[in-house]
Amino acid sequence: MNASVGQGNRQFDNRSDYSRNYAEISLTQMLFDGFRVRNRLAKAEHTSRVRYYELLSEAETKALEVSEAYLSVQRHRELVALAQKNLDNHRRVQTRVGERAQSGVSNQADLQQINGRLSLARSNLMTEIANLQSVTARFQRLVGRLPADGLEPVAAEAVQVPTDLKDILNRGYVNNPELYAAFENIRSAEASLGEIKSNRYPTFELGLRHGLYKNNNSFDNRTDPDPYGNESIVELRARYNLFRGGSDRAAERAAFRRINQAESLRDKACVDLRQTATIAYSDVLNLQEKRQSLIAHRDGAANVVVAYRDQFDIGRRTLLDVLDSENEVFQAERAYVDGSYDLQIARLRTLHSMGQLLPALSVSTESMPTLEDLRSGDVAPDSSRYCAAYQGGDWGGDAYLNQPLPANEVLELSGDALFDTGSAEIKAGSVSRLQSFVQRLTQQGGLQSLAIVGHTDNTGSAALNRELSLARAVAVRDFLVANGVEQAVISVSGAGADRPVASNATVHGRAENRRVELSVKRSQ
């Protein structure tokens, strides 16, 4: 509806003049516009949904980043504590070695060795402190403040995820806001195409107009120029575009391309969701299995270091054995801490791929509508139709870890890795590998015989080499027996330098010849 008024005065060379005045009101009502307004409203609605789903997706991502930052601060605080503990242990060993050196039991080489290891432990502590400062700065950037001195610990079982990958994917198809945004983007592009196609149709509109006019047209037959004349019009107007230079066809082709692009982005969102969820789920499975091994390694290394300290005091272990065992404990505890926090982060990433991280963390904003409030009824069927490409499989490591040992197997262990030069004492750093071998033997069962043969290079006399190779084979046997392998099925021998696998003329060849062979025979 429009209203207008006008006034005009005109003079002709000072000979005469007259005025043109009018007042008018008009009403125009669109009857048919080729569905332009309908498609424009649909486009606006779907675009607003896209933006809101993107907001929810960004909120999930930020929640994941903050959660990872929180766990990273806790992780590195524990690692700093472990590094400090490792430094304190080295200081205690340094004190004991210093006392032994003053009394003449230890030499200056031992004192220099512990001093070097102490410097390395101090360097490790400084590295962990620097890492803690980095993750603290990241936490401050994300949260806006420094982390509290006493962060609430997150229990390993606090965050749980489904145990089936198919269930995880189905939940992700229904709840992941990024996937919803991809589908709404297609609908927005389709509505935009409908708006452009409205140019193909004619438009119809109803027009009503009424006005008062004075001297407004040349057909005014009134003799008195002062009074106003009335005029009312009712009209039905139709417009149809006949030719616009091909711009409408070009706009339609561009709209079709935008639809194809949106569909490609939808397919990419489906693939990305499936990949992210699968990787996160497999990480959860693998880290759960790995955590048990890390616990066993940590506990075993802790028991070994206690025994080595006592044996060092009575002269049965060298200082290098003690220092290696201390480092083994430190690395085992670090690996356990890293594995525990990696498991928590993998669970959080799984929930993020499902679109369920915010509910799992009990984070919500009452002023914002939830996904349930805005969810379109046909999005979930669409996501299942386009995204459900799941094929079952074993995503854990059991298929690799629990492979049966072959009936006849020969395992070669490096002598340099197991023993120090000229020694038959098993080093602390090789305990974990021998424990893994024992675990495979006991789990598979059916062991008929196990032959352990020690080998050396040609350095030294033949008698000395045979004696050393036999002593090393006996040390490996004693370790296996102490860890549950039946002694009756084990035989030991020392071959000395009689069976080389490489030339003793080179350093590398001599290192290959220094080995222990374990020949396993199992029942079929």
pLDDT digits (tens, 9 = 90+) for 199-219: 888 989 899 998 887 766 644
Rounded to two decimals, the pTM is 0.69
- Amino acid identity of residue 478, one-letter, is D
Q: Which two tokens stand for residue 347?
A: 């669970």
Per-residue model confidence (pLDDT) at position 222: 52
pLDDT digits (tens, 9 = 90+) for 354-401: 988 888 888 876 666 666 666 654 554 456 566 755 555 555 555 555
d(CA 494, CA 452): 8
pLDDT digits (tens, 9 = 90+) for 388-433: 555 555 555 555 555 555 567 777 877 767 777 777 888 777 777 7
Contacts of 54 (CB under 8 A, 6+ apart): 177, 178, 181
Q: What is the mean pLDDT of residues 99-104?
A: 78
Nearest to 347 by CA among 338, 357, 358: 357
Instruction: Tell me the C-alpha to C-alpha distance, in Å, between residue 411 and each of 337, 445, 453, 517.
Output: 31, 17, 11, 6
* Residue with tokens 């990696």, as numbered in its chain: 342
Contacts of 404 (CB under 8 A, 6+ apart): 444
Distance of CA 133 to the CA centre of its chain: 22
Q: What is the mean pLDDT of residues 284-305?
A: 88
- Split at pLDDT 50, 70, 90, the class of 336 is very high
Is residue 504 over pLDDT 70?
yes
Q: Which two tokens stand for residue 449?
A: 């015989």
> Where on the phi/psi map is residue 443: left (φ > 0), alpha (ψ -120 to 50), or beta?
alpha
Contacts of 113 (CB under 8 A, 6+ apart): 319, 320, 323
- Amino acid identity of residue 271, one-letter, is V
Residue 447, H or E segment: strand 447-455
Q: Which two tokens stand for residue 9?
A: 């005065």
Q: Which two tokens stand for residue 243?
A: 């030719």
Give counts: helices (H), strands (E), the chain. Answer: 14, 8
The domain covering 43-183+260-387 belongs, at the CATH homologous superfamily level, to Outer membrane efflux proteins (OEP) (1.20.1600.10)
Any idea where the domains of the chain sit in the sequence?
1-32+203-239, 43-183+260-387, 404-522
| CATH number for domain 404-522, candidates 3.30.1330.60, 3.40.630.30, 3.30.465.10, 2.60.40.10 | 3.30.1330.60
Helices (H), 314-370: 319-354, 357-360
Highest-scoring range by mean pLDDT, 30-34, 69-73, 307-311 = 69-73
User: Order of strands across the sheet with 229-239?
Assistant: 2-12, 16-32, 203-214, 229-239
- Amino acid identity of residue 232, one-letter, is S
Per-residue model confidence (pLDDT) at position 381: 47
d(CA 124, CA 334): 12
Is residue 322 over pLDDT 90?
no
Contact between 507 and 453 under an 8 Å Cβ cutoff? The reply is no
pLDDT digits (tens, 9 = 90+) for 125-168: 999 999 999 999 999 999 999 999 888 887 766 678 888 888 88
Mean pLDDT value across the chain: 83
Is residue 71 over pLDDT 50?
yes
Q: What is the mean pLDDT of residues 279-302?
A: 88
pLDDT digits (tens, 9 = 90+) for 236-263: 999 898 888 888 899 999 999 999 999 8
Per-residue model confidence (pLDDT) at position 418: 79
Nearest to 27 by CA among 212, 233, 239: 233
Is residue 291 over pLDDT 50?
yes
As a 3-state breakdown, the chain gives helix, strand, coil percent values, each rounded to 5, of 60, 15, 25
> Where on the phi/psi map is residue 504: left (φ > 0), alpha (ψ -120 to 50), or beta?
alpha
Is residue 492 over pLDDT 70?
yes
Instruction: Tell me the C-alpha to C-alpha distance, in Å, between residue 375 and each of 53, 283, 353, 369, 449.
Output: 10, 30, 18, 10, 65
Contact between 116 and 124 under an 8 Å Cβ cutoff? The reply is no
Contact between 469 and 455 under an 8 Å Cβ cutoff? The reply is yes
